[in-house]
């Protein structure tokens, strides 16, 4: 799949594969709404937005419900992105590189049985069966702002609990300085693995204090339902002050390590994707600006972009972790 890699390296993936089809889709949806159609537009249009403000009810009647206590301390005031957008506009390269690919192809992912191995530099390594992981502590609903390095953002009502709950139980040793996250890599379930785009399995990493931060969410659901496959079922991490790729999906290993671990996108293009990848409007990606963002589901092509916020707006909770660090160097 050399062509895909070349396309990504040239940087024209942004206008071509992302913005254009998206805007066509959004404009079509708005036309449908203007025409006063009911059905699909009532389900996925403005009604969804309104409902999402007040309740965590899944707009997908077939979805498996998952109840969680809303935690108002972790709820941004922004309008929640429509369910339809959150679940059809995805990056999950194991299922293809187009934004619509994961929703089409992730049906082959088998989420049971599923075991998450917590391992490495810790006193209590443990294999968690997914259903035990789900029941470990009460689930919370948190509405987080998410921003992709590609320049789009969403507001997502996630369900989960702090990753710190798992870390505390594992009792990391003094040499545990970082946490590595490793995604499933089963070519039988994941057609994208036949393309050597990144060094599979997808892996990510956080410094121990970042992993322990109360914002860092072990995530098992969204919009009042079990996590859809395309969003990283059955369990993923969500790190809302960092670019989207730090939030690894469908995790099978959580490993404590003593050195900064290699990560999928940093290995792919180290000059473009750093280990930290904190959302930072002042440090541009080498090929495009990070100063503004397009909120998915909000308007169309001519809607003005929003200014991107330092640490995605979570500075109060996270800035102290980076005091004294040159964020241009540690991007």
Closer CB to ligand MTE, 32 or 283, in the complex: 283
What would the two tokens of residue 231 be?
A: 């969003």
Please list every residue from 72 through 101 that binds Mo ion, using CB under 5 A: 91
Region from 152-160, 173-181, 238-246, 293-301 binding Mo ion, contact rule CB under 5 A: 238-246
Distance CA 246, CA 237 (A): 8
Write the DSSP string, 110-167: --SS-EEEEEESBSS-EEEEHHHHHHSS--EEEEEEEE-TTSEEEEEEEEEEETHHHH
Q: How far apart are the first and last CA of the chain?
A: 28
Distance CA 114, CA 235 (A): 9
Q: Please report how close the Cβ of residue 244 comes to Mo ion at its closest, in angstroms.
A: 3
Q: Please report how close the Cβ of residue 159 comes to Mo ion at its closest, in angstroms.
A: 21
Cβ–Cβ under 8 Å, residues 28 and 44: no
| 120, 205, 244, 274: residue in contact with Mo ion (rule CB under 5 A) | 244
Q: Please report how close the Cβ of residue 136 comes to ligand MTE at its closest, in angstroms.
A: 22
Site mask for ligand MTE (CB under 6 A), range 79-108, x = bound: -----------xxxxx--------------
Residue-wise burial string across 108-135, b where 16 or more C-beta atoms lie within 10 A, e elsewhere? ebeeeebebebbbbbeeeeebebeebbe
Q: How crowded is the C-beta side of 316, counted as CA atoms within 13 Å? A: 3
Q: How crowded is the C-beta side of 299, counted as CA atoms within 13 Å? A: 11
How many residues does this entry show for the chain?
Answer: 331
# binding residues, ligand MTE (CB under 6 A): 16
Residue 244 binds ligand MTE, judged by CB under 6 A: yes
Closer CB to ligand MTE, 33 or 185, in the complex: 185
# binding residues, Mo ion (CB under 5 A): 4
Residue 290 binds ligand MTE, judged by CB under 6 A: no
Q: Please report how close the Cβ of residue 302 comes to ligand MTE at its closest, in angstroms.
A: 24
Please list every residue from 146 through 165 that binds Mo ion, using CB under 5 A: 148
Residues near ligand MTE, by CB under 6 A: 90-94, 148, 183, 202, 231-232, 244-245, 247-250
Residues near Mo ion, by CB under 5 A: 91, 148, 244-245
């Amino acid at each position: 799949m050399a062509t895909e890699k070349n396309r990504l390296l040239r940087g024209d993936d942004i206008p071509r594969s992302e913005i254009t089809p998206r805007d066509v889709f959004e404009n079509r949806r708005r036309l449908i709404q203007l025409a006063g159609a009911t059905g699909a537009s009532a389900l996925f249009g403005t009604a969804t937005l309104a409902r999402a403000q007040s309740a965590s009810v899944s707009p997908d009647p077939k979805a498996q419900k998952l109840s969680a206590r809303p935690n108002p301390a972790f709820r941004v005031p922004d309008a929640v992105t429509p369910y339809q957008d959150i679940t059809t506009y995805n990056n999950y390269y194991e299922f293809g590189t187009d934004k619509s690919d994961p929703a089409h192809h992730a049906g082959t992912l088998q989420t049971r049985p599923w075991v998450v191995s917590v391992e490495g530099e810790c006193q209590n390594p443990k294999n968690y069966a997914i259903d035990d992981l789900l029941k470990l502590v009460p689930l919370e609903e948190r509405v987080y702002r998410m921003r992709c390095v590609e320049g789009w953002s969403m507001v997502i009502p996630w369900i989960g609990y702090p990753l710190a709950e798992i870390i505390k139980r594992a009792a990391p040793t003094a040499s545990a300085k970082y946490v590595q996250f490793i995604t499933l890599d089963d070519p039988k379930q994941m057609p994208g693995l036949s393309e050597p785009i990144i060094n599979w399995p997808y892996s990510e990493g956080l410094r121990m204090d970042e992993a322990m931060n109360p914002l860092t969410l072990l995530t098992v659901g969204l919009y009042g339902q079990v996590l859809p496959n395309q969003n990283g079922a059955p369990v993923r991490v969500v790190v809302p002050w960092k670019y989207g790729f730090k939030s690894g999906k469908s995790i099978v290993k959580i490993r404590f390590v003593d050195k900064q671990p290699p990560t999928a996108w940093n290995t792919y293009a180290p000059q473009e994707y750093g280990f930290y990848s904190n959302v930072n409007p002042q440090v541009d990606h080498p090929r495009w600006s990070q100063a503004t963002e397009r909120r998915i589901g909000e308007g169309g092509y001519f809607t003005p972009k929003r200014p991107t916020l330092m640490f995605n707006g979570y500075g109060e909770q996270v800035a102290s972790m980076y005091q004294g660090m040159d964020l241009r160097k540690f991007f």
